[in-house]
Structure 1
Amino acid sequence: MKRKKICIVTTISLTMHQFIIWSLEDFHKNGFDVTLLCDMDDEFIKSVPEYVNCIPVRMSRGVNIWSSILAIFSIYKAIKKEKFDIIQYSTPNASLYTSLASWFARVPIRLYCQWGIIYVGMTGMKRRIFKIIEKLVCSLSTDIQPDSHGNLIFCRNEGIYNIEKSRVVWNGSASGVNLKKFDINKKQEYNIDIRKKYNISETTVIIGFFGRVGAEKGFNELILAFQNINQKYPNTKLLFVGPNEKPKTVDPRLLSWFEESEDVLKVGWTDEGEKYLAAMDVFVFPSYREGFGNVVIEAGAMGVPVIASDIPGPQNGIVDGVTGYLVPVKSVDHLVKKIELLYKNRILREKIGFNARKLVEENFDHTKLLEKMIENRKWLINRQGSA
């Protein structure tokens, strides 16, 4: 069988590291010549395997018309020259630029991996504009693969795309969970190490969060809920793992308290998420919108009960009342009630954590997901050849 050429596009190289790099070896072994295209530097190019081709294209995040035009033109030139069989794109800016460029270049398979819907949570004119952009990207794509069944149903109901061109691979998520990395057998070891590192006693109940400082991640609700819990139960800590990326979008008073409180442990970015999750007693994820919310199943993989917003994405990674709890978005009261429930009942925490690990093992093992992804890409190519 002749090797097929696939180009994978994201806006920045960090996304490649998080969601793409892990899959490249298997794609290569299964007959694909892989090209990565994003805003990358020499260090990133040196870090990828030799059999992977890299095309650096400047793509700034946010809205900038002139840089957007330049990016579209650069992507068009690159893919026109390479003649790819399939081009796959994710993240907002990269998806807009690449869907346009690949449509003009007439790439036969234009696959939009929809890892979130940017206009969800917006209102008024801004929502209408970004909904139009989302529909444009989908209309230019031959296939759309959201990473959760919740977002698949939402977009079909919204008229963003139809049934024929949209599907979820296996049980969803962008990359599943590496169960060797998120090793439940090392939970106790990691728990002891993290508590020792931050001088946290064994009796302290750790409430955890992974994500950036930003309004749409539910930062305001998270801090208000923790303030309530911490005041009532002083033997609690908030372990906040993630960058202070969008501080201007959150309540400045809550941000100030967050930065000054000794009961908030601010870790920043880490590639050892499994260790920090292992130290948590409860994982809270009050996000406003998600594609899937991979941290939900990563927490589950480490046997941690999750409290998350009842929104598309997390809905597909939690069995409510069994592996965690789903609460109304932006509801501080519901967050507090569920945190307090789990705080008071260690046996319940352990039971839910056990159930969560089992759910992840059976439904989100990344090796099984990768098999399904490769099968899907081959099916897309074979379908094109028989059309």
Structure 2
Amino acid sequence: MKKKSICVVTTKSSTIEAFLLEQLYYLQKNGYDVTIVCDVDDELEKKLPKSISYYPIPMKRGIEIGMIIIIWRLVLLFKRERFDIVQYSTPNAAFYASIASWLASRPIRLYCQWGIRYVGYRGLTRLIFKLIEKITCLLSTDIEPDSFSNLQFAREEGLYSTKNSRVIWNGSANGVNIKKFDINKKNEWRNEIRKYYNIQGSEFVYGFSGRLVKDKGINELIAAYKIIYENFVPNSKLLIVGSYDDDNNIDQQLMSWARDSQSVIFCGYTNEIEKYYSAMDVFILPSYREGFGSVVIEAEAMGNAVIVTDIPGPIDAMKKGVTGLTVRKGEVGELVNAMKKLFDEVDLLLLMKENAVKFSRENFEQKKLWNHVLNDRNLLIQRTRTNSMGVYRKNA
């Protein structure tokens, strides 16, 4: 039996490292030849074992003038290596790889739809990016969004049918590593982070993790916290974990207030996010669009009640009224009310914290998800090889 092969394509290497690297190791150990294609990253290449191939192609987010060259390079790679599965995610890489794998006649063109970019736009820009999304889906043999709510939204939008789309297990791109997000170390890590940032034990901590851009709801988060701090919960802190992007749409007055405030702490990027979740009491993701919201299940795994926007993706990563609260996108007033509610109602907060740990661990444990992914990939290849054999016998 021919060994199974998969090529995974993303725009940036950071996606590979954040969501896929350990999962790809798992596939490799279970009978797959694995190839990674992404932007050039010398550090990633050094980390990879020799058993995993790396094919760097310069790619970036946003509009690219050289996309025809990128697509052609992918076509040549796919024709040469003849992968069983070409798997792609992130907007640009998915668009390029769907076209290239179709041109190269690859039998399984798998689109891991981790978010739908056009929902964050309006007018002509929305129409253009919706067309790109439709092309990507049309050229894919299989589409796997990472949340049921985005699956439903995409079907209603006419992006694809029920025949070739599904969610793996309960959703998410990579689940939760319960060894890394170890609830038994919460108190130890909580004390460590609070001591480092001089947060008093009596202070209530709201938290956020993600890129500091408008689409993540940074404007609403800071605006809501400013109201909370000045009017309701002065004995509090806002912990913002993540790197700052050059986003011209961030409200500079709000950002200036936050940077001058002693109550807002910008922590920057960390690879020990589990420690920062431990220092929080409530985790907030006021995003405009998400594929799923992996940070939500991570925060829940570390015992946080959560507040998320009522949009496809994050609503699957929590249980409304059980592990947290939802608010409408862009509604500062609703966010203020939710933040105040979880501070005022102590018993509700404690119950949600307890429920959050159980919900995350039972529904999104990483290794269980990997096993479902492995079974899914095996079935896709089995289906394709069975169909090919049927055609061969018919023509014989």
Q: TM-score, normalised on structure 1?
A: 0.98
| Residue equivalent to 1:127 | 126
| Shift in Å, 1:347 | 3.0
| Residue equivalent to 1:235 | 235
Question: Residue type of the partner of 2:242?
Answer: G
Question: Residue type of the partner of 2:46?
Answer: K
- Report whether the alignment pairs 1:99 with 2:98: yes
Identity in percent = 50
| Shift in Å, 1:239 | 0.2
Question: Residue type of the partner of 1:384?
Answer: T
Deviates more, 1:47-56 or 1:143-152: 47-56
Pairing of 1:322-341 with structure 2 (within 5 A): 322-341=322-341
Question: Residue type of the partner of 1:272?
Answer: E
Pairing of 1:194-343 with structure 2 (within 5 A): 194-232=193-231, 233-343=233-343
State the alpha-carbon separation in 2 of the partners of residues 42 and 270 from structure 1.
20
* Residues 250-278 of structure 1, C-alpha deviations (whole Å, 9 max, x = no match): 11211221222221110111111100000
State the alpha-carbon separation in 2 of the partners of residues 68 and 101 from structure 1.
11
| Shift in Å, 1:328 | 1.0
State the superposition RMSD in angstroms.
Answer: 1.0
| Residue equivalent to 1:16 | 16
| Residue equivalent to 1:173 | 172
| Residue equivalent to 2:393 | none
Gaps of 5+ in 1: none
* Residues 170-198 of structure 1, C-alpha deviations (whole Å, 9 max, x = no match): 00000000011000000000000000000
| Shift in Å, 1:211 | 1.2
1:39 and 1:59 in contact (8 A); partners too: yes
State the alpha-carbon separation in 1 of the partners of residues 101 and 298 from structure 2.
34
* Residues 204-258 of structure 1, C-alpha deviations (whole Å, 9 max, x = no match): 1110001122111111110110000010221111100011114311112112212
State the alpha-carbon separation in 2 of the partners of residues 43 and 253 from structure 1.
37
Question: Residue type of the partner of 1:89?
Answer: Y
Pairing of 1:356-375 with structure 2 (within 5 A): 356-375=356-375
State the alpha-carbon separation in 2 of the partners of residues 165 and 52 from structure 1.
28
Deviates more, 1:306-315 or 1:43-52: 43-52
SS of structure 2 residue aligned to 1:58: coil
1:212 and 1:246 in contact (8 A); partners too: no
| Shift in Å, 1:17 | 0.3
1:305 and 1:349 in contact (8 A); partners too: yes
| Residue equivalent to 2:55 | 55
| Residue equivalent to 1:44 | 44
State the alpha-carbon separation in 2 of the partners of residues 285 and 200 from structure 1.
22
* Residues 137-158 of structure 1, C-alpha deviations (whole Å, 9 max, x = no match): 0001000000000000000000
Pairing of 1:136-155 with structure 2 (within 5 A): 136-155=135-154
| Residue equivalent to 2:191 | 192
State the alpha-carbon separation in 2 of the partners of residues 315 and 37 from structure 1.
31
| Shift in Å, 1:60 | 1.8
| Residue equivalent to 2:382 | 382
State the alpha-carbon separation in 2 of the partners of residues 251 and 332 from structure 1.
14
* Residues 268-312 of structure 1, C-alpha deviations (whole Å, 9 max, x = no match): 111111000000011111001000010010011001000000011
| Shift in Å, 1:122 | 1.1
Question: Residue type of the partner of 1:225?
Answer: A
| Shift in Å, 1:368 | 0.4
| Residue equivalent to 2:79 | 80
| Residue equivalent to 1:111 | 110
| Residue equivalent to 2:27 | 27
State the alpha-carbon separation in 2 of the partners of residues 122 and 189 from structure 1.
43
Gaps of 5+ in 2: 388-396
1:35 and 1:54 in contact (8 A); partners too: yes
| Shift in Å, 1:81 | 1.1
| Over 6 Å off, 4+ runs | none
| Shift in Å, 1:42 | 2.2
| Residue equivalent to 2:355 | 355
SS of structure 2 residue aligned to 1:267: strand
State the alpha-carbon separation in 1 of the partners of residues 34 and 284 from structure 2.
37
What count of residue pairs does the alignment treat as equivalent?
386
SS of structure 2 residue aligned to 1:11: coil
